[in-house]
């Protein structure tokens, strides 16, 4: 996959304070202004990004940003970069508490799993430029794992899927600007 079109992505997942400021509510279970907003559906995340003048990242954009220029499974030692099942004490944490990747992005792995714009489908085994995924589907893609993810599964290529209306205590997101 080649990312040929430039984009800006949020330095952190959207915080509860930011979500409340734009949407007028905070649905999160684990309260804290600087914690990532969670218990948001894909529909909620998409509405927020649009209201803020952006959009959700494609799955390819998200992975490119998460890798931070590396081809490794993780961009550094896991405990240095991510809140996961082994170190989270069963909750989310304020953003920017762990080491950023080489692009200066925090919490790309762990804390909250992040919604992307794409519908879930198998990868096409052909070279692609700025892929956007299929136009329809049943499930939306989430990336990055969360505070409840087993350390073994917490890697840049980790992907999950849920229906767009699904909400959980580990679902978050970040937005992209063109």
pLDDT, one tens digit per residue, over 138-166 is 999 999 999 999 999 999 999 999 999 99
59-78 average pLDDT score: 93
Answer yes or no: is pLDDT of 131 > 80: no
pLDDT given at position 18? 98
Distance, CA of 122 to CA of 6 (rounded, Å): 25
Distance, CA of 76 to CA of 43 (rounded, Å): 32
Among the listed residues 53, 29, 17, 52, the one whose alpha carbon sits nearest the alpha carbon of residue 112: 29
pLDDT given at position 4? 87
DSSP H stretches of helix in the chain = 16-23, 42-51, 59-67, 78-81
Please report which confidence band the pLDDT of residue 135 belongs to, taking 50, 70 and 90 as the band edges: confident
Asked which of 2-6, 27-31, 49-53, 146-150 is least confident by mean pLDDT, the reply is 2-6
pLDDT given at position 30? 98
pLDDT given at position 134? 83
pLDDT given at position 13? 98
Answer yes or no: is pLDDT of 123 > 80: no
The rounded mean pLDDT for the chain is: 95
Structure tokens that stand for 51 in this block: 């209201």
> Does pTM top 0.85 for this prediction?
yes
- Taken in order 66, 67, 73, 75, the sign of the CA dihedral is negative
69-97 average pLDDT score: 95
Distance, CA of 91 to CA of 84 (rounded, Å): 9
Answer yes or no: is pLDDT of 126 > 90: no
């Amino acid at each position: 996959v080649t990312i040929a079109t430039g984009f800006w992505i949020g330095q952190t997942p959207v915080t509860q304070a930011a979500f409340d400021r734009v949407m007028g509510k905070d649905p999160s279970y684990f309260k804290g202004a600087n914690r990532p907003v969670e218990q948001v559906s894909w529909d909620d995340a998409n509405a927020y990004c649009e209201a803020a003048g952006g959009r959700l990242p494609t799955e390819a954009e998200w992975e490119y940003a998460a890798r931070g220029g590396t081809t490794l499974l993780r961009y550094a030692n896991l405990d240095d970069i991510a809140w996961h099942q082994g170190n989270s004490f069963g909750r989310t944490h304020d953003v920017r508490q762990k080491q950023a990747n080489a692009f200066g992005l925090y919490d790309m792995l762990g804390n909250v799993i992040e919604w992307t714009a794409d519908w879930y489908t198998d990868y096409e085994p052909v070279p692609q430029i700025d892929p956007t995924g299929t136009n329809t589907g049943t499930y939306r893609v989430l990336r990055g794992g969360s505070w409840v993810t087993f350390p073994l599964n917490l890697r840049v290529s980790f992907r999950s899927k849920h229906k767009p209306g699904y909400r959980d205590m580990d679902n978050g997101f970040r937005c992209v600007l063109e």
